[in-house]
Amino acid sequence: MRAKCRREDLRRALHGTLPGAAVRPETTILNHVHVEARAKALVFTTYNREWWMRKSIEARVDEAGVLVAPARLMTDIVDALASADLRLDTQPDSNELTVSGDDGEIGIRCGFVDMYPHFPQLKADFTATVPAAPLVRAVQQTAVAAARTLDQSALAGVHLRFENDRLVMAASDGSRLAEHQLRVALANDGLVELTLPAAALRELHQLLIGESASVRIEVAATGNLASFAAGNSLLVASIWEGSYPDYAVLIPVDGVSRTRVLREDLLARLRAALLLAPSEGSPLSLRLVGAGRLVLSTEGSERGNGRLELAATNESPEAQVLVDGAALRAGLEAMDTVSVDLFVGADRHLVVRSVPGDDHLYLVVHKQRPPSIDFQV
């Protein structure tokens, strides 16, 4: 292999695909990045048994070739070099990649190309198209509620439901729930549902940096795979088997009390209150008082007790809910609106909705009402 490219393009490709490399792989080769030099391009691919990430960049290729290099090491080396352009060179009888520029060169010992898994070829049964920015926003606001486990539990996934011209994304770890709706262009009629690893979708933002095109989503029943492609970037994830829990039973519909507050004001009070709350569970009380106040309080902490107020527009003079403060903070931080509406249902679950619009919902389960009562997994 002999190729030359812009360092910044190389950095973007390596950082964009790095999350696809396995951190603690069963097979060492999976913590490597697969690099292919072909006609006027360098193609970078990573895989960790749950998802693939691929990104290509423009390059001057003097000699085609393929190599696999330690993903983190190669990324760190390119970050450390300062040259505007970098060369990637290998010798026929050597298992070493040389990265060189105006400030010198560094050799990286490579793995065996034959050991790297073959990239899957999808035959799509279903196709949808959505603008990149709204999709990334929907993923960020939904995946925050998914459990951060490494197994294939539904609660560690994001559920996607395509119907008519809508995509509904949902995630829940059993004690909180996020749902986001956005419009999509569907090439197929009917209903399509699938659950994908939340950890994979969280990396779409990094992968799609520099891409302004729409994202083409394809689902292949054969192979149980789904792909997200935009410009020179591609993510292919495994579809998890099994049905997704009926999360609609968590959303209050009767006896709902509503208040509207400024999101940043609520976040500021919440962050202050969490300084006193226990790190595990972080139980906080939210109480609607009169027509214009929302009171946050924490009691029983070894660090102390707190009571904080903020202005609110209350439709009900009195309502109270006990929630996981850290979970509420994570949902609010993922939102990007000035104001939010808080809904307290008769079952005392707390729902947060963006203002304006009803495309996003975030729910935190009442701490004294176990989610297993409502949410069967």
Residue-wise pLDDT tens digits, 136-189: 999 999 999 998 876 667 889 999 999 888 999 999 888 889 999 999 999 888
What are the pLDDT digits (tens) for 221-277?
A: 777 999 999 999 999 999 998 888 888 877 877 778 889 999 999 999 999 988 887
| Residue carrying the six token digits 């300062």 | 82
CA distance 376 to 370: 11
Domains of the chain, with CATH numbers? 2-115 (3.10.150.10), 126-245 (3.10.150.10), 251-373 (3.10.150.10)
CA distance 29 to 139: 29
pLDDT given for residue 278 in this prediction: 59
- Residue 277 DSSP code: S
pLDDT given for residue 370 in this prediction: 47
HEC letters along 342-354: EEECCCCCEEEEE
Contact 371, 365 (CB under 8 A): yes
Residue 14: how many CA atoms within 13 Å on its side-chain side?
A: 21
What single letter denotes the amino acid at residue 158? V
pLDDT given for residue 42 in this prediction: 98
In three-state secondary structure terms, 317 is: coil
pLDDT given for residue 150 in this prediction: 63
Contact 138, 169 (CB under 8 A): yes
pLDDT given for residue 372 in this prediction: 42
Give me the residues of the chain with pLDDT under 70, please.
150-152, 278-282, 300-301, 347, 366-377
Q: b vs e for 162-177, b when ≥16 Cβ sit within 10 Å of the residue's Cβ?
A: beeeebbbbbbbbbbb
CA distance 261 to 135: 26
pLDDT given for residue 376 in this prediction: 44
Cβ within 8 Å of residue 33, ≥6 positions away: 14, 17, 18, 21, 44, 45, 46, 68, 69, 70, 71, 74
